[in-house]
């Protein structure tokens, strides 16, 4: 089954304790992206990756890191989480623009609800 | 600054009603506009629009784009309780130094359909 998976689905942690949220897709998509969703603010893009070893900042990259060492995985790293990073996080993937014409038809993972105390 | 604005923010209707959701945008180097439906989980794709005046249709849902006036509408006819969800509009535009990866979302319209 074609899907985007995220782990963990729920996480409660404390300020300053490094954490990683994993994202994996089995559709051979080249484009992957991370979003956070907050009440009243909608979905905001954190980072995206056009291909292996190619990553770019989205709208709200501060406090986050990503890596893209292989096509299927795109982990989100919070080196020193803070309470303002409490949010619902979504990973998404789609085909490369030169293949499909655009990257926009993104398929979303189930979400990770993160609480930072 | 690029932005996507959806209206109304919330809407309550009764089953059988027809609703129209609005999305306006100001995005550099517009590529496409997408509609998503989000229930209590991840957004699911509904439509992608790239050309003005061409209606996309799927069952009771339809959408159209006006690139001159910079907006799109999503219509739902004969609404059902299962249509209750947040409807998200997103626009793809070139924002950062020529890279094409940025997708900007509106804050969504929360639709509640009462029996």
Distance CA A75, CA A67 (A): 6
Q: What secondary structure does DSSP assign to B36-56, as a single string? A: EEESSSS-EEEEEE-STTPPE
Q: What is the pLDDT of residue B40?
A: 82
DSSP 3-state assignment of A105? coil
Q: Which residues of chain B have pLDDT under 70?
A: 93-101
Q: Nearest Cβ partner of B107 from A42, A50, A109?
A: A42
Cβ-Cβ contacts under 8 Å, A42 against chain B: 88, 105-108
Q: Nearest Cβ partner of B105 from A43, A49, A50?
A: A43
User: What is the percentage of chain A residues whose pLDDT exceeds 70?
Assistant: 92
DSSP 3-state assignment of B18? coil
Burial of B50 (0-12, 13-18, 19+ CB in 10 A): middle
Chain B residue with the nearest C-alpha to that of A33: B101
Interface of B with A in 67-86 (CB under 8 A): none
Q: Mean pLDDT across chain A, nearest whole number? A: 90
**Residues of chain A with a CB closer than 8 angstroms to some CB in chain B:** 31, 33, 35, 40-45, 48-50, 56-59, 90, 97, 102-111
Query: For A46-61, what is the mean pLDDT?
Result: 90
**CA distances, A80 to each of A3, A11, A64, A83 (Å):** 29, 15, 9, 10
| β-pair type (B109-114, B10-14) | parallel
Q: Nearest Cβ partner of B105 from A42, A48, A109?
A: A42
Asked if residue A44 has a cis previous peptide bond (ω within 30° of 0), the answer is no
CA of B114, closest CA in chain A: separation in Å?
A: 23
Digit-coded pLDDT (tens) for B37-68: 999 889 998 988 888 888 999 999 999 999 89
Q: How many alpha carbons lie under 13 Å from residue A99 in its C-beta half-sphere?
A: 12
Q: Nearest Cβ partner of B31 from A49, A104, A109?
A: A104
Q: What is the pLDDT of residue B97?
A: 40
| Residue of B56, B72, B101, B105 to mutate, interface with A, max A Cβ within 10 Å | B101
Lowest mean pLDDT among A42-51, A67-76, A85-94, B81-90: A42-51
């Amino acid at each position: 089954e074609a899907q985007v998976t995220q782990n963990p689905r729920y996480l409660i942690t404390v300020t300053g304790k490094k954490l990683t949220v994993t994202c994996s897709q089995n559709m051979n998509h080249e484009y992957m992206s991370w979003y956070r969703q907050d009440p009243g603010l909608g979905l905001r893009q954190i980072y995206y990756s056009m291909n292996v070893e190619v990553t770019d900042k989205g709208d709200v990259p501060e406090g986050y890191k990503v890596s893209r060492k292989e096509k299927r995985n795109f982990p989100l790293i919070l080196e020193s989480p803070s309470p303002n990073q409490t949010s619902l996080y979504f990973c998404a993937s789609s085909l490369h623009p030169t293949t499909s014409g655009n990257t926009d038809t993104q398929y979303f993972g189930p979400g990770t609800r993160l609480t930072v105390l | 600054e690029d932005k996507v604005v959806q209206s109304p923010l919330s809407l309550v209707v009764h089953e059988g009603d027809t609703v129209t959701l609005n999305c306006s945008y100001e995005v550099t180097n517009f590529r496409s506009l997408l509609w998503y439906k989000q229930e209590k989980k991840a957004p699911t794709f509904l439509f992608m629009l790239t050309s003005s005046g061409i209606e996309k249709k799927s069952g009771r849902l339809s959408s159209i784009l006006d690139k001159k006036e910079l907006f799109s509408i999503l219509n739902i006819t004969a609404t059902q309780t299962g249509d209750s969800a947040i409807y998200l509009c997103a626009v793809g535009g070139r924002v950062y130094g020529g890279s094409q990866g940025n997708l900007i979302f509106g804050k969504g319209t929360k639709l509640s359909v009462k029996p």
